[in-house]
Structure formats: structure tokens, C-alpha cells
Structure 1
Amino acid sequence: MDAHLTALAEANGGYLFRHQLLDLGVDDRIIAAWRRAGEVVRIRHGTYATRASWATADDGQRLAIRTRSVLDKLGPGVVATHASAAALHGLDLYLPSAGPVHVTRVDGRAGRQEAGVIHHENDLPDSDVVEVDGRAVSSPLRAVLEVAVSEDVESAMVTISSALRLGLVSETDLERSLVALRHWPGVRRARLAVRLSDPALESVGEVRSLHMMWEGALPHPTLQARLALAGGGDARLDFLWEWWCHVGEFDGQLKYGRLNLLPDDRGLVLTQEKIREDRIRSLGLGMSRWVWADLAPDRRAATAERIRRAMHESRRLYAREARSFAVHR
């Protein structure tokens, strides 16, 4: 695939329509060959993404690409809403990238579901519509509310915490809006998700970890606490239970995966992390670690119980030392 087509895909927002390829002399035989070679990926009927843009995109970015293609195909009669709007605003999502694109009809036409697109008939005030890259999208507040009432608590927490962290919404605005929209189905679940969300949660994994702790009835931890370390410097912790003398760390891809600052030297990263852990433990603190697999629905109850046992053991081992930690956020 030449640079011209790659540039066209980028200008579109990450995709290429079949008719655009045909207009440029690329017929179906060539498209099929590109697909076999992995140069392009079919993301919807008659819509393709380049390998470069698709392979490096996370689930939210892939949903954003598909949403742009749907909006550009359907025209001004629809507005991106729900998780699709959240994706266009750059919010975190805990939803499959292959989930449906959500739009709300503003042209009076009936709602329906077809070809991976859900058309909603909800009333959408003009004040709740903004533009993102020239496309009509529900506002960040409206998008977060739509996700909160339509998804489960865990998924809603991911999007709400992201919006709070980015400063796109406030907890006060969310609570006031939920009072005004109390007739919406799912409002009670959304209120719970708002209470559990926190802007200090820095990743999807950390949000899902806190949800696992709530579901497993663990004490609420201090988030992103900093501890002064012996010999200088400090350590920022994902989760701290000070009374229990225990630290919790989620080991996700931000530390050891594609966003690792030292991707070519995994051994050095692990060595540095082991030194950091030893310095934290030297303060009289126990530590629990978990990974993505430990947050799976069929394993998170066992993960929570493992952390609970470790907390009790840390309390038994270290509480007598009664050290005073320099804790701050």
C-alpha cells in the first residue's frame, strides 16, 4: 500500500471506504490481496483500516475509528453517543472493540439496529451535542452518563474515572445530572459507579482492581500514595492499606508491556522493580501483586481473598513496629 492511501486513511480518521479505493483504481482483487497479506483489515462492510493504524490501536481507538466511518457514511442525521462518543473523546473504555457503534437519530427517523450500528431515538438537546474533528458527538458529560446507565458498574467506573482524571466532567456535575435524569433506566447502578470512581485511578487495570476490591469487600485503600524511602527518594504506590501495613500493585502493560520505557531490556525493568519492592518492604510493609488474568470474572474473587489473607499476615508481622509512614498523594 502506497503512502498516498495511508495518508488518505489518516485524513479520514483511520479508515478507507471501498468506493474511495475504487475511485483511485484499486479494485476488489487488489483489496482481497491486501487483506490476505495483512496490509488492510476489514472493520465494517465496505470499510477498511490500514495495518499500521489498526495494529497499534487499543480497543477504544478501534471503536473510535469505526465510529468515524459510520458518522461519515450516515451524514448529519445522527450524533455519536454512548461508548462511541466516549471513544471519540479519548476516554477509557472497558468494552470490546468489536461492540456496536452507537448513534442517536436527530432527523426524526426511527431507531433500529443493523450492520453493527445501534440507532437510538433518545431526546438529545442541542446543548448536549459538540463537535469533535468536525463530527457531531454527545458532550463528555452526556457520553459518560450514557455509558454509566447502559453498562455494568465495572465498565462505568472505567469511563467515569477516566473523565474525572482528564477534567472533562466533575463528580458534582455527574451527581446533579443523575438526579435530573432519575427516570432513566440504570440510574441506580450509575450512582454506585460514580461513588466508586476516582480520578486518582490512572489506568483501566487500576479501576478494575478497585472494583474487584469493592466486590470482594476489601477495605478501601489510599490511592497513589507516596512513601518516603530509606536512603532518599520515594515510591508511589497503586494501593496502600496503612493500618494493615500492606501495599497492592497492579502489574499491567503500562509497566512491562508496550508502554514500557525500556521495552528492549525487560530484565532491567524487572530488576529495578525488584529493588523498588525490597525498599518498600524494608519499611515494614507487605505487598500483593496481581495481573490482568487475576481480574477475570472467574478469578477476581480468589484474587481478593488472596489479598485479604496477605493483609492479615502483614498486620500480624509488621503492626508491632508501629512505624510512621510519610504518606501523601
Structure 2
Amino acid sequence: MQAATEHPIAVHRRREHEYESPVNDRRLQRLVEDGSQVRIAAGSYVPAAEWNALTPLQRHLTRVIEIADRTRSPQVLTHAAAAAVWGLDRIGPWPDLVEVRIPSASGGRSSGGIRRRALGYDGVDVLPWRGHLVTSPAQTAIDLAAEARFTDGVIAMDQARWSRRDGGALTDRIRIDDVLSGQFRRGLGRVQRVIEFSTELSDSVRESQSRVLIERLGFPVPVLQRTFRLPALGDVRTDFWFDDFDHIGEFDGTGKYLDPTLLAGRSPGEALLAEKDRGDALRRIVRRVSRWRTPALRDPRLLYDILTGDGLPSRLPRPRVGAQW
């Protein structure tokens, strides 16, 4: 398991007098007001350009580390805070406050950038982190699944089990079941349904979201990460393979065209042409290839229309406006 332990970017702290000595509060306020600095916690600031270059997960991790480091007594990081530490991504917004567990009889409250959740510690699986404790990957995924929509729970569980993660999966089904077995909690049935549906094969949050929608829209269960041998291109993996219908489905994320890491030295245009060549090669060896982007996941009717329009049958009618899972 690999927990994040360092800030993604440098943080300037008022108490350290890194802007001027002594600190010029008016100047610091002007820097925030003109947008060149971002206040991430009381007395802590980061350059706006560097902050905006971070992913939402990295931004929350920055807040988590900053708040944790200034907290005098040891804390138990939980839920979104723990997810940021373990790199469990999500599709919704990240909270502004850092979530920690406190004894169940205490009563939850928020102050100083912290949301205190009176969930108790009985049977909770935790690990040491920077002088504090953090719920384990298995515990974190369970906690998120117990409170979130089914889709968001599956995303968290898939992320925790993801086998192709750098350094290996954070946890596995056996460990998740073991952690859950020692807990009596509300939402147990929901968590169990999420665990049953989860997989170690989803390579992104959008693939997990797509997989949930494919099932809820009544389409056949796909094979995940099916490999095809393409002339001149070698082996390529596809997101979804509907074996009985000789039909490939793929989420077409923008990261492959914009993320410098994924571009690996190529220009966005070169990446786009390579993806087109890959798609054309797949279409020559299978009956159909369906592709969709994020808007089709925000409105499931669009995904339904794409797949049925390409000939994939569904056992259910087109969903109503606003349907979400």
C-alpha cells in the first residue's frame, strides 16, 4: 500500500514569514484578492497557478496534510480525507473540510478546517500516517460505500481494488470482506451490494461509472479489459467487450489528449490520430465499436442511445429524464 505523505506543491505559511518579515497582511490580502495566491487554510497559501494545475484529489490532499500538520493531538482521518491520502479518486466535488473520526458519544462538529464525525473507533481498521491515523484502504472504501450513491460506492471500491495501480492494488476482496465482517453498521446491505459489483479491473473512475450505467440500463454484462491483437499495433486492451454481440465499448476520456503524462511526449494531434488509427483497426476485426464521453455518463439516456444505436440490445426501455444511480 502506498499512502501519500508529502504535499503535491509548496505551501507558504504566514507563521513562517515567507512573504515578508514581518508579514505584511495587507499585501498578502491583495495577493489573494488579485488571484495570484489561494488560501487553503488559515494562514496557509499556495501560488494560484500551481494550485490550478493540481487535480481535485491533489488539492484535497494538500488541505488534508496542511490541516493535519497543524493539529496538536493525533487524529483519525476518515472518508474523503482518507481517500485523498490513498489516492482513491471520485467524480463529484471534494469537501472543503478535512474529515476525522471522534468517539461516537462526542457529537460531530466542525471547526478549524476539520469536520469531526462521531462514528467511533470500534472495529475500525486504521494505519499510522504522519503522526496521526488514517483508515485503511479497505475501511475507507467501506465507509464511502456505506454513505454514497451506488455508483460512487462502486468507484471507491474499484479504486481500492485496482490491480494495475502503480505499486499494485491497495487492497483486495479478501481483506475488504475481513474488515467488513468485524463491523456492525448501518448501510451494511448497501456495502455488500457494492462489494459484489466491484472489480479490480476498472482503470478509471469513468470506466467504473460506465460499468454501473451499462448494468442499470439493461445491457449485457461485458468482459473487462479484453485484449485484441491488431496488425501493426500489437496487443491493445479495450474497456468493455460484449462477447455475444462482437461489440466493443469504450469510454473516450480527454486525458489521453491533454495530460502530459499520458501524452508521453506526443502532441495532442498525434495522440488523436493514434487513437483514430486504433479505433479503425478495431472496427476491422469486430462487428461494432461504441465510444462515449463524459456527457453520456451525466445523462444516461445518451449512453443508452449510443449503445442501442450501434446495435447492442437492452432488456429495458430508455430511462426517464434525470435518471441517476
TM-score (norm 2): 0.82
Aligned residue for 2:180?
Answer: 178
Higher helix share: 1
Aligned residue for 1:308?
Answer: 308
Q: Is the 8 A contact 2:239 2:250 kept in 1?
A: yes
Structure 2 CA distance for aligned equivalents of residues 152 and 75 of structure 1: 34
Show CA shifts across 1:41-76 (max 9, x none).
122343323335422221111111111222223322
Q: Tell me the CA shift for residue 83 of structure 1.
A: 1.5
Q: CA RMSD in A?
A: 2.8
| Letter paired with 1:295 | L
SS in 2 for 1:88: helix
Q: Is the 8 A contact 1:237 1:247 kept in 2?
A: yes
Q: Is the 8 A contact 2:258 2:268 kept in 1?
A: no
Q: Tell me the CA shift for residue 99 of structure 1.
A: 4.3
SS in 2 for 1:118: strand
1:219 to 1:118, Cα distance in 2 relative to 1, 3 A? same
Q: Tell me the CA shift for residue 110 of structure 1.
A: 4.1
| Letter paired with 1:268 | E
In structure 2, stretches of 5+ residues that fail to align are 1-5, 163-167, 314-325
Q: Is the 8 A contact 2:76 2:133 kept in 1?
A: yes
1:93 corresponds to which of 82, 86, 90:
90
Q: Is the 8 A contact 2:67 2:113 kept in 1?
A: no
Aligned residue for 2:114?
Answer: 117
Q: Is the 8 A contact 1:228 1:234 kept in 2?
A: yes
Q: Tell me the CA shift for residue 133 of structure 1.
A: 3.6
Show CA shifts across 1:253-288 (max 9, x none).
331122431576222222221111111111133111
Aligned residue for 2:238?
Answer: 237
Aligned residue for 2:67?
Answer: 70
Q: Tell me the CA shift for residue 240 of structure 1.
A: 0.9
Q: Is the 8 A contact 2:102 2:118 kept in 1?
A: yes
Identity among equivalent positions (%) equals: 27
In the alignment, structure 1 residue 138 sits paired with structure 2 residue 135? yes
Q: Is the 8 A contact 2:7 2:62 kept in 1?
A: no
SS in 2 for 1:137: strand
| Letter paired with 2:206 | G
1:304 to 1:132, Cα distance in 2 relative to 1, 3 A? farther
Aligned residue for 1:276?
Answer: 278
Q: Tell me the CA shift for residue 13 of structure 1.
A: 7.1
Moved over 6 A (4+): 10-13
1:136 to 1:117, Cα distance in 2 relative to 1, 3 A? same
Aligned residue for 2:297?
Answer: 295
**How many residue pairs were aligned?**
301
